[in-house]
A and B are shown apart, each in its own frame.
Chain A
């Protein structure tokens, strides 16, 4: 019951934290006359994934202070699907998503705007295996095969030899494994199923990956809190949650053997390390089952979506807006990263930051190299 209360508190807290995001627009009036002289007031309109929403709120708050109240960011946490749709329909200046644009949308964006639609790394999401096994504490070791076996329904009991072999000395009870998964479409599911698709041929063949999949077994819970609720209330349950959520709510979670054969305990550092690989120029890479030797294997980027040709996005009407958007995004991937870990979000590793910077430097307004100008300006004058 105490866990339940803690969980409810977190949900309430999350809602509370998320609220100013939606209300962001109205806060503009709260800082009258604070704008720096000569800097017009601009509201940057964004929407998308709910996972990075608390971070986006914190970024927006800090950035408003830095700009003396001139730039407010109105980010609506409507889910990755909605974010991608509104981005493609050009009703927002930037989107955010836990799944990168698919080929179809990437090509459509190129046709519509004559340039690339960038997937800009903002932070990283990580998925941990949460479980409720009486008498078993934190840090049960899972291998790709045992995870896939359990979620495919071929490993059905906790004392299965495959699990026992990985955990010598742990007293595993003879209890059926009850799988818990997300019932709502989610980026967490996308990362998790993408991982299973990479490590298990049978999973790749029968199920595949996406934000919603046709689960072979198990009970579906709505949201992180739904899955956590099932796990905490069901002895023998095995589910998956984002690391932040598991940590804040005191749910036991396991270690995973990565593709270099190392047992990795989930942590923000291990998640950042997963991105220590070559990242393509358009940012579209799934970091699951990463080759990074110390990286946690079930991790992935959360992306910001932005058009290379800012003038071709109908939601951006003036050059000022485009410039402030560019400046804000540049701040997010550089100085903004400093606050990530204080909010339990992984920070971008240096390589990913460099890729993001390169993308921002190519942003254009009517063919004018706006991105380069903004970066040069920031380097000499600050934000």
Chain B
């Protein structure tokens, strides 16, 4: 920036550049300070818990009992990781299919309609999705799937019963499916952009070599776009980890591990939103903060992992 400025004739060198640079540096530092400040405040508020239980014991303790003043984050960490990764597993393949279809196969007007609808899906507030889940989706799932499957397992496959558990309307599976539904638009949009950025020449070269449509997709387009796709998937994962409202409304909120598929569970954001308002005791309050602190760490770890994987996978070594 500075060098470019020096190359210019003197009459073009105004104070504008310097002012602009100062302003954007300032904005960027504010962002960094905000992140550090947030982490610091959460940590300080969580200190009574870390002092009482220790960092590791709080992480591995499975009891969460505010009355007995015993707090452990493990059920929530398990719940968060399980729901997020399961939702991701459910969402990725269909999302990728939609992205490929709209960019490579569909006529432009159909692609437009699909893209528009997907973007619309991303704009639905999570509390609205949660309400739909409470009144329509979850009762329907209980009637059509949970109860029949449980009854069948009870009769014919008893080994399954401890895994699926007694069916409750709001449970692990309900929350996971809704979560998957909520991250599909993100995965689709980001993969679509990544595939769209693959240069025309790349495709044409593959066509010229006599590749079929499927081969072009598989050997020329997807490898080129995979960095962007993986980045999109990991961003969706970060969103799943932090998703609060819809999950809290549908997961059934039980902190007794082991969780079962059709039984209630809990996640880190769900316990925070559920118990924060009425946490009167100091240790209860600080333990919720501590869960928040670990959520912060989990999310940051995923993001770091994302950038590492992105570097590793990139065939162009450093972005598209």
A99 B253 Cβ-Cβ under 8 A: no
A85 B280 Cβ-Cβ under 8 A: yes
Complex CA–CA separation, A166 to B131 (angstroms): 36
- The total number of A-B Cβ pairs within 8 Å is 117
Residue-by-residue, is B61-82 near A (CB-CB < 8 Å gives 1, otherwise 0)?
0011111100000000000000
Name the contact of B277 in the complex, choosing from A1, A4, A79, A209 (C-beta under 8 A).
A79
List the A residue with the shortest CB-CB distance to B171: A219
Instruction: Tell me whether B187 is interfacial, beta carbon within 8 Å.
Output: no
Instruction: Tell me whether A199 is interfacial, beta carbon within 8 Å.
Output: no
Known: A219-B168, A219-B169, A229-B134. Contact between A212 and B264, CB under 8 A? no
Instruction: Tell me whether B275 is interfacial, beta carbon within 8 Å.
Output: yes
Q: Which of A182-190, A250-258, A262-270, A326-334 contacts B (4 or more CB under 8 A)?
A: A182-190
Nearest CB on A from B45, distance (A): 12
Complex CA–CA separation, A185 to B274 (angstroms): 6
Name the contact of A233 in the complex, choosing from B169, B248, B273 (C-beta under 8 A).
B169
> Within 8 Å CB of A216, what residues of B?
256
Given contact pairs A81-B276, A178-B168, a sample of 20 additional A-B residue pairs in the complex whose CB atoms are under 8 Å apart = A8-B131, A80-B280, A82-B277, A85-B285, A176-B166, A185-B277, A185-B279, A187-B278, A212-B67, A212-B279, A213-B65, A214-B255, A215-B254, A218-B168, A219-B169, A219-B264, A221-B249, A222-B273, A226-B134, A233-B135
Instruction: Tell me whether B294 is interfacial, beta carbon within 8 Å.
Output: no
List the B residue with the shortest CB-CB distance to A81: B278
Residue-by-residue, is B35-62 near A (CB-CB < 8 Å gives 1, otherwise 0)?
0000000000000000000000000000
Instruction: Tell me whether B170 is interfacial, beta carbon within 8 Å.
Output: yes
Instruction: Tell me whether A207 is interfacial, beta carbon within 8 Å.
Output: yes
Residue-by-residue, is A185-226 near B (CB-CB < 8 Å gives 1, otherwise 0)?
111000001000000000000011111111110111110001
Complex CA–CA separation, A213 to B284 (angstroms): 11
Complex CA–CA separation, A214 to B72 (angstroms): 12
B253 A234 Cβ-Cβ under 8 A: no
Q: Which residues of chain A have a CB within 8 Å of any CB of chain B?
A: 1, 4, 8, 78-82, 84-85, 99, 102, 176, 178, 183-187, 193, 207-216, 218-222, 226, 229-230, 233-234
Complex CA–CA separation, A357 to B171 (angstroms): 49
Known: A4-B135, A212-B284, A233-B135. Contact between A184 and B65, CB under 8 A? no
Complex CA–CA separation, A369 to B169 (angstroms): 58
List the A residue with the shortest CB-CB distance to B249: A222
Name the contact of A81 in the complex, choosing from B64, B131, B252, B279 (C-beta under 8 A).
B279
Complex CA–CA separation, A185 to B256 (angstroms): 17
Residue-by-residue, is B246-271 near A (CB-CB < 8 Å gives 1, otherwise 0)?
00110011111000000010100010
> Within 8 Å CB of B276, what residues of A?
81, 185
B277 A81 Cβ-Cβ under 8 A: yes
Nearest 3 CB-CB pairings of A with B: A185-B278, A220-B253, A79-B277
- Interface hits, B87-135 → A, CB 8 Å: 131, 134-135
> Within 8 Å CB of B171, what residues of A?
219
> Within 8 Å CB of B279, what residues of A?
81, 185, 211-212
Chain A interface, >50% SS class: loop
Complex CA–CA separation, A129 to B58 (angstroms): 35
Complex CA–CA separation, A183 to B169 (angstroms): 15
A213 B264 Cβ-Cβ under 8 A: no
Complex CA–CA separation, A210 to B254 (angstroms): 16
Nearest CB on A from B19, distance (A): 38
Q: List 30 A-B contacts (CB under 8 A).
A: A8-B131, A81-B276, A81-B279, A82-B277, A102-B280, A178-B169, A183-B248, A184-B273, A184-B277, A185-B277, A185-B278, A208-B68, A210-B66, A210-B67, A211-B66, A212-B274, A212-B279, A212-B284, A213-B66, A214-B68, A214-B256, A215-B256, A216-B256, A218-B264, A219-B170, A220-B264, A221-B170, A221-B249, A233-B169, A234-B168
B67 A207 Cβ-Cβ under 8 A: yes
Q: How large is the interface on B (under 10, 10 to 19, 20 to 34, 35 or more residues)?
A: 35 or more
Name the contact of B249 in the complex, choosing from A178, A211, A226, A234 (C-beta under 8 A).
A226
> Within 8 Å CB of B63, what residues of A?
214
B274 A220 Cβ-Cβ under 8 A: yes
Complex CA–CA separation, A4 to B168 (angstroms): 19
Instruction: Tell me whether B223 is interfacial, beta carbon within 8 Å.
Output: no
Nearest CB on A from B69, distance (A): 10
> Within 8 Å CB of A219, what residues of B?
168-171, 252-254, 264
> Within 8 Å CB of B281, what residues of A?
102
> Within 8 Å CB of A102, what residues of B?
280-281
B278 A80 Cβ-Cβ under 8 A: yes
B278 A211 Cβ-Cβ under 8 A: yes
Name the contact of A209 in the complex, choosing from B67, B168, B270 (C-beta under 8 A).
B67
Complex CA–CA separation, A33 to B263 (angstroms): 60
A234 B142 Cβ-Cβ under 8 A: yes
Residue-by-residue, is B149-187 near A (CB-CB < 8 Å gives 1, otherwise 0)?
000000000000000001011110000000000000000
Nearest CB on B from A207, distance (A): 7
